[in-house]
Amino acid sequence: MEAAAEALGGPAALSCFSYNQDCTSLAIGTTTGYRLFSLSSVEQLDQVHESNEIPDVYIVERLFSSSLVVVVSHAKPQQMNVYHFKKGTEICNYSYSSNILSIRLNRQRLIVCLEESIYIHNIKDMKLLKTILDTPPNTTGLCALSINHANSYLAYPGSATSGEIALYDGNTLKTACTIAAHDGPLAALTFNSTGSKLASASEKGTVIRVFSIPGGQKLYEFRRGMKRYVNISSLVFSMDSQFLCASSNTETVHIFKLEHLTDSRPEEPPTWTGYMGKMFQAATNYLPAQVSGMMNQDRAFATVRLNISGQRNICALSTIQKLPRLLVTTSDGHLYIYNLDPQDGGECVLIQKHSCWI
């Protein structure tokens, strides 16, 4: 997921920032070019590559830890440039009918999202395989691509006025299904690493839902907050699909735990709490669906209170030096690394802060 920056934090303005597909690399775009960093260490932020050949970069996406990087500049917003950065060569470039809003990659497909159309390329030879025309107006370029190239599912808004998700099979090049995910327009979409789950949030940002893929059945529903609407800026699964992280324009980052789902629960011992739990569960059967659903929603497993607010940020859940970490990159050009307790959750502990202006 990439984000546009709003603050000046160094010698050049940070205009965009994104993690690669397995959260092992960070890319940033500036007015002078772009930089790539390795995320293999907590103690140091290692710069892998720096390019000043293309100014005003607003999209930069790296394919896993390979040498392939895709760049789009404000100087030519309708042109996508694909580079082999280690060789310093351009592989190809493609131009489109309107401004490019987002790029998504896996080892099989390259997706280019415009406001009212989506282009699907075969990444091995960059051949255009399919153009999805007349998609609902998508001014932010919201879309998600499964990083698992065995299925290459693509998700994008199926409506500009409601929270309908269109699911497309990027390998067979056929529509898979539509999911009625939210009442209001969508704000965030993300697949887990295997492409078997899809998480979504609406523009209200209060409820996050997780669906099975490709069937579209609702598996989980998490409440991020009840009192105020927020703009979800980042939504991401951990690589093992145990956790789901959401950040917004507020100072709080929420991490939810996806407990294992079973068809039948073991019989509870005849305790007072067990009895009351059964009574509560029975009572929800008589409540309106909206109220009953709220009672069954899970709260955040872990949280982070950022020291900054009002800045754009993107998050990642990654394993660095064999321990689970939460990464937060902010629009002023800083990377924050937190420890995540996978057993007890709670407040995550800040252990390192890096500047992307090294």
Per-residue confidence (pLDDT) for residue 356, from 0 to 100: 93
What's the pLDDT score for residue 272? 44
Long-range own/partner contacts, residues 295-299 (CB < 8 A, 24 or more apart): 296/221, 297/207, 297/221, 297/222, 297/223, 298/220, 298/221, 298/222, 298/223, 298/256, 298/257, 298/259, 299/222, 299/223
Residue 3's pLDDT is what? Answer: 61
pLDDT tens across 27-59, in order? Answer: 999 999 999 999 999 999 999 999 999 999 999
Q: Which residues pair with 135 in a beta bridge?
A: none
Reported pTM: 0.87
In angstroms, rounded to a whole number, what is the distance separating the alpha carbons of residues 136 and 117?
8
Q: Could you tell me where the DSSP H helices lie in the chain?
A: 272-284, 289-295
The pLDDT of residue 64 is 98
Query: What does the pLDDT profile of the chain (358 residues) look like in tens digits?
Result: 556 443 334 445 589 999 999 999 999 999 999 999 999 999 999 999 999 999 999 999 999 999 999 999 999 999 999 999 999 999 999 999 999 999 999 999 999 999 999 999 999 999 999 999 999 999 999 999 999 999 999 999 999 999 999 999 999 999 999 999 999 999 999 999 999 999 999 999 989 999 999 999 999 999 886 656 788 999 999 999 999 999 998 899 999 999 875 543 344 444 444 444 444 445 444 555 444 443 345 689 999 999 877 788 999 999 999 999 999 999 999 999 999 999 999 999 999 999 998 6
DSSP 11: S
Closest C-alpha among 167, 127, 130 to residue 146: 167
In tens, the pLDDT along 133-153 reads 999 999 999 999 999 999 999
Largest CA distance in the chain: 70
Tokens 């970490």 map to which residue?
Answer: 325
- In this prediction, residue 9 carries a pLDDT of 41
Task: Verify cis geometry, omega within 30 degrees of 0, for the bond prior to 214.
Answer: yes
* 59 vs 61: CA distance, rounded Å: 7
Q: What pLDDT, on a 0 to 100 scale, did the predictor assign at position 357?
A: 85
Q: Which two tokens stand for residue 10?
A: 């160094």
CB 354 within 8 A of CB 334: yes
The reported pLDDT for the residue numbered 228 is 67
